[in-house]
Copies of this chain bind each other. A is one copy, B any other.
Amino acid sequence: MLRLSKLADYAAVLLVQLGQLDTLATASSLAQSTGVPEPTVAKLLKGLAGDGLVTSFRGARGGYRLGRPLDQISVASVITSVDGPIEVTACVNGRYCDAGPLCSLSGHWDMVNDAVFRALEAITLADMMPSRPQAKAAPLAAIIDTSPRYRHGASS
């Protein structure tokens, strides 16, 4: 299964909802408008604020707004903020599975991992909005990395 976590999915929904508001939103109002449970909303907003994807304002009239516009928030940045670095296999960055030295692909999943990251980095939350006319296109080099570190058995 190559599956996004429910929390990352919810975070994207919250951010898109914030992007459609002109005023500050509270965890309570976001929970009501999105259907995501309030404790989950509060937890997610705290994490997203830590990564600058939302900004919090304290006080009686406090709340949250987007840290930057939706077209500057990539799907990859949302996933990374909620779930940590995108690694489609455990076999990346020099870490290996039980197969260890027998595995002919050791260290070579990095290419796959990076391609998935780049695909997700090229799509912003604005691209996913219903009213968005067209997906943003990224240079091919940003999707498939053919740099020397993937050649001749080199592993990062």
Instruction: Report whether B119 and A118 are in contact in the complex, using a CB–CB cutoff of 8 Å.
Output: yes
Query: Does A103 touch B at the CB level, under 8 Å?
Result: yes
Query: Does A112 touch B at the CB level, under 8 Å?
Result: yes
A: number of interface residues (CB 8 Å): 67
Whole-angstrom distance between the Cβ of A125 and the nearest chain B Cβ: 8
Instruction: Report whether B135 and A111 are in contact in the complex, using a CB–CB cutoff of 8 Å.
Output: yes
Instruction: Report whether A2 and B153 are in contact in the complex, using a CB–CB cutoff of 8 Å.
Output: no
A108-153 with Cβ < 8 A to chain B:
108-109, 111-112, 115-116, 118-120, 122-123, 127-140, 143-146, 150-153
Query: Does A56 touch B at the CB level, under 8 Å?
Result: no
Give 1 or 0 for each of A8-50: 1 = CB within 8 Å of chain B CB: 0110110011001000000000000111100000000000000
Whole-angstrom distance between the Cβ of A102 and the nearest chain B Cβ: 4
Q: Count copies of this chain in the complex.
A: 2
Contact A99 to B4, CB < 8 A, known contacts A16-B105, A128-B111, A144-B135: no
Query: Does A83 touch B at the CB level, under 8 Å?
Result: yes
9 tightest A-B CB contacts, nearest first: A130-B153, A35-B102, A119-B119, A35-B99, A115-B119, A108-B128, A140-B140, A4-B88, A135-B146
Please name 12 pairs of A and B residues whose Cβ atoms are closer than 8 Å in the assembled complex, sorted by A.
Answer: A2-B116, A4-B88, A16-B104, A20-B104, A33-B102, A75-B112, A115-B123, A130-B152, A133-B151, A135-B144, A138-B140, A143-B143
